[in-house]
């Protein structure tokens, strides 16, 4: 197994530790774990492309690892009343639609690549999660950082909808397969 794939697996392994830290109120530890996991996302892709180590495992598991990490945090944020459940429902609906389209395309031997807007959406989600965790970790700065977190999260929600529509329009031929 190559280094990028090991980093992807490491990100998945960090998720239960992140969840445990958050649920027990150790927000600084949750913040460190989330940031460390997010950094692996940056490096696994960068290393895979630079060293020509792109694999089918990585193509599938890297975005899945991102989703497991980010959506675990968002579920925790619903329970903590930081975000509303309908917001996560919109995010998950987009993901299920795209996953369904990719499955149909794959059954025909086609691969549907992720677009830049989807990558921007993921980065905004990660920064929003980091900002929420920072707000919980540093009570003195909570009001300001929470405002930043909310702005980042709303921006990610807008990008979620936009990137979903863009993806569907760009790959509408999947619906005729």
Q: How confident is the model at residue 115 (pLDDT cuts 50, 70, 90)?
A: confident
**The tokens of 133 are what?**
């965790």
pLDDT digits (tens, 9 = 90+) for 59-102: 888 889 999 999 999 999 999 999 999 999 999 999 999 999 98
d(CA 139, CA 41): 28
Residue 120: what are its φ and ψ, rounded to 5°? -65, -40
**The tokens of 132 are what?**
């929420």
**The tokens of 119 are what?**
């990558």
Show me where the domains of the chain are located: 3-176
Instruction: Collect all residues with Cβ–Cβ distance below 8 Å to 108 and sequence separation of at least 6.
Output: 177
pLDDT digits (tens, 9 = 90+) for 20-40: 999 999 999 999 999 999 999
pLDDT at 112: 80
pLDDT beyond 80 at 113: no
Instruction: Collect all residues with Cβ–Cβ distance below 8 Å to 127 and sequence separation of at least 6.
Output: 152
Phi-psi region of 92 (alpha: psi -120 to 50; beta: other; left: phi over 0): alpha
Between 54 and 87, the more confident residue is 87
Query: Which CATH class for the 3-176 domain?
Result: mainly alpha
Helix (H, G, I), strand (E, B) or coil at 53: coil
């Amino acid at each position: 197994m190559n280094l990028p794939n090991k980093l992807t697996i490491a990100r998945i392994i960090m998720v239960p530790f992140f969840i445990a830290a958050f649920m027990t109120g150790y927000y600084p530890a949750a913040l460190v774990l989330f940031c460390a996991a997010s950094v692996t996302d940056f490096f696994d892709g960068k290393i895979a492309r630079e060293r020509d180590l792109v694999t089918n495992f990585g193509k599938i598991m890297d975005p899945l690892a991102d989703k497991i990490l980010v959506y675990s945090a968002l579920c925790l944020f619903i329970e903590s009343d930081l975000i509303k459940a309908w917001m996560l429902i919109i995010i998950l609906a987009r993901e299920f639609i795209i996953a369904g389209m990719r499955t149909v395309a794959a059954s025909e031997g086609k691969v549907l690549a992720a677009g830049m807007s989807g990558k921007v959406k993921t980065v905004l989600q990660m920064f929003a999660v980091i900002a929420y965790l920072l707000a919980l970790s540093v009570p003195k700065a909570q009001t300001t950082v929470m405002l930043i977190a909310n702005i980042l999260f709303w921006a990610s929600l807008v990008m979620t909808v936009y990137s979903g529509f863009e993806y569907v329009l760009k790959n509408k031929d999947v619906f005729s397969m």
